[in-house]
Amino acid sequence: MRYGENVLPARRVPSLPIIFLRSLRDPFTAVLASLALVSTLVAAWATASVIAVLVVVSCALRAAGEHRADRSASGLRELVASTATVVRRTADEAVPVSREVPVEEVVPGDVVRLAPGDLVPADLRLLRSTGLTMHQAALTGESAPVPKYPVDEPAPGTTGAAPAEARAHGRDEHGSRQELARTLDDQDFDRPEVCFQGSSVASGSGTGVVIATGADTRFARADRLPGHDRRTTAFDRSVHGISWILIRFMLLTPPLVLMANAALRGRGLETLPFAVAVAVGLTPEMLPVIVTTTLARGAAALARDHRVIIKRLPALHDLGAVDVVCLDKTGTLTQDRPVLECALDTSGTPDDSVLHWAAVNSLWTVRLAELPSADALDEALLDAAEERFAEGLDALEYDAVAALPFDPVRRLSTAVVATPHRLGRHTLVVKGAVEDVLERCRLTDDERAGTAALAGRLAADGLRVLAVALAERPASPRPFTARDERGLTLKGLVGLRDATADTAAAALAGLADRGIEVKVLTGDHPGTAARACRDLGLEPGRVVTAASFDALEDTELGELADSSTVFARCSPAHKARLVRVLRERGHVTGFVGDGVNDLPALRASDVGICPPEAVDVARETADVVLAARDLTSLDHAIAAGRAGGAGIAGYLRITLSSNLGNVIAMLTAGLLLPFLPMLPSQVLVQNLCFDAAQLAFAYERPRAAALRRPLTLRPREVLASVTGFGVINAATDLATFAVLVWAVRDTRAQPAFHAGWFTENLLTQALVMVLLRTGRGGGIPTTAGVLALTGLLLPLTPVGPLIGMAALPQAYYPLLALVLALYAAALHWGTRRARRTDTPQEAPAS
């Protein structure tokens, strides 16, 4: 086929091995792999094996979780349309006939027929239309149907009808098609003669010639917009930020140990295994495993219980850090359908008769014009009439005569019915755009101005306003035409608003309760956006239009974005810029969008989120897919993200505090003792015991307070806390050193020193796990108890002598208990002081 299949460019789901290899790019995982290599070079085989196992387990868990999410997201993929009605010749001399073909077989030059409800299979230019309006919300964010009709003079740079004629006669105009396809840009969505793939027919019918298919459509090209690559996220700035700081310390530790021992003790390369062991001791080896396990468990629970798909595991952490959520209005806060808000007479007083006549127009226009279905506005009026009137739609039954359907040029429709109880008289019922109906009514200038002002107030309040007028005419055998729509009597106005999403109000309230600001970024009218927000309980304040901030510098726009809630008439570039400046001001942003016009903002945000009805390219760009039509599932996802973040933060504080204290103490003791304070094998066994115990943190449940506010790991604050508790831990270790000097009394009794320090290290680590934990459950007290028993009993078992430890004198244990009691009191004091002086780890992140 010359042009290829008319399908969107598919993105392959990466294979498990590819995702596994990508996981190795994580900086901390890479450092662990490097430490394993160094351990191998110094013949520390056990250390190298343990680290290698941790790296493999972490990467495997992460790869499995992300692969499962990718497959779930790809399962949501839908084609834009399944079949299309095209007009083709079966042979060169045959008469063109209509037939259904699979959408992938549509090619440039095909003539396509559109009917209500049809999805547009490709970009096409209209040749003819009857009352055609299109839903383009997925492309532009505009909730109202857009009129489409052919024009005599195509826009500059486009072609005439040649491609259609060429196709009908079996010829191609490849150059013309490509020229036209290249001219389509963001502004072309407003062109009345072009229908775009990804839009759907709201009402009317039309025939058009295909000008672009597959990857050449405007819909597909939106996925290749330049300059909107994803930046570093909150996860990158927090966990990775802490990782890089630790990496620097780990890289400095071995050289410092070697130089200090060489200068003060005259030791050479024989201390290299110990130096590597100290570097490993500083490393929270379980960090990749804990992070991956915690996030993978949260993602699996969300998919199972709330039908939320986390496509990128770090995005779950980022959700917990989000403090600003930007929403596209259409399809997110509102449904793609209007509902009746009011029916008023010319004085602004509620009047059900106005609704009655508006519904009569809708019913008989659809029936007599033989339209396949009513458009969204007519459906809203008919639904309101059925609910409002006791007789339901029976109240609209008249002897119908004729109908003039809606036309996007004259912007009104007319139904003609027999006038009740007046033989030989017909009533014209006209409904349409206010200014067009008023032109055809008998009104004084004051009446016209008053009605226009009333309509303006309703529109400013976010309503879509239609005027309803009547005229009585003598019965006539000639057909009624648009010329009869004159000398009308204005009946009143009807106002319709966007129907809000069922769960949107609850979702917005939930976000507010969690300390998250909401910003509405929409391509819709300012009044419509403000009205939707008020209906959902979100105070819009002063609505900012895109035109008003185009000339602002980023700094000024950032201040405006911080203080405003609703931004209207936004193009895709405007949305992306707003998200970017919010991030530059320190906010962690999430963006919820469902259309092609939302792609740049989805990419610019920390977390891109889309609902299940989002277009294909939006679902593939997003990090999180809400697979259920329930916006409150976003609240569950944020809670899960905060739970995961709290668990990771607790693990880092506890582990790094303990590790830092141990390293400081070992380095100090190593310089004071004539022998190494712990053998590399003992350091390895100690790390293995602590690492195994730390797995409990992946199953810890956070306290309710941790879920109330956005949670961001700030490297500086985490390390400040770690340093404080690490110093306490180091002081405890050195106090234990003094106790050992007194209890053992013989500094040549290396096995006793090693056993005493090994026992104290595991006991202090058990205390840290219990006293510094921030959550509940997870079996942490039990795990800490097992860790403490291991520290007490292992030196007394046959394993002790194998790794260079011996039994301790009984006098050591009471003194150790005293040291541990003082250590527990210091931890308790430090924890209470931290809670009083430290603010919660709330976004925005610095």
The helix or strand, by DSSP H or E, that contains position 212, with its residue range, turns out to be strand 200-212
In contact, 594 and 615? CB cutoff 8 Å = yes
Q: Provide the Cα torsion 811, 817, 819, 821; round to 10°.
A: -160
In contact, 546 and 518? CB cutoff 8 Å = no
Both tokens of 25, joined, read 């790019």
In contact, 80 and 629? CB cutoff 8 Å = no
The helix or strand, by DSSP H or E, that contains position 843, with its residue range, turns out to be none
Contacts of 815 (CB under 8 A, 6+ apart): 739, 742, 743
Would strands 425-433 and 412-418 be described as parallel, antiparallel, or unpaired?
antiparallel
C-alpha 571/C-alpha 179 separation (Å) is: 24
In contact, 340 and 362? CB cutoff 8 Å = no
In contact, 766 and 827? CB cutoff 8 Å = no
C-alpha 197/C-alpha 120 separation (Å) is: 5
In contact, 511 and 534? CB cutoff 8 Å = no
C-alpha 739/C-alpha 125 separation (Å) is: 89
C-alpha 12/C-alpha 658 separation (Å) is: 44
**β-sheet bridge partners, residue 112:** 86, 208
C-alpha 490/C-alpha 803 separation (Å) is: 99
**β-sheet bridge partners, residue 208:** 112, 126
Is 152 one of the annotated active-site residues of the chain? no
In contact, 622 and 605? CB cutoff 8 Å = no
Both tokens of 767, joined, read 């205390």
26, 70, 328, 594: the catalytic one is 328
Both tokens of 628, joined, read 């259920």
In contact, 521 and 574? CB cutoff 8 Å = yes
The helix or strand, by DSSP H or E, that contains position 209, with its residue range, turns out to be strand 200-212
C-alpha 362/C-alpha 412 separation (Å) is: 11
* Angle at the Cα of 248 from the Cα atoms of 243 and 253, rounded to 5 degrees: 120
Enumerate the H helices of 461-503 as residue ranges: none
Give catalytic residues, as residue numbers.
Answer: 328
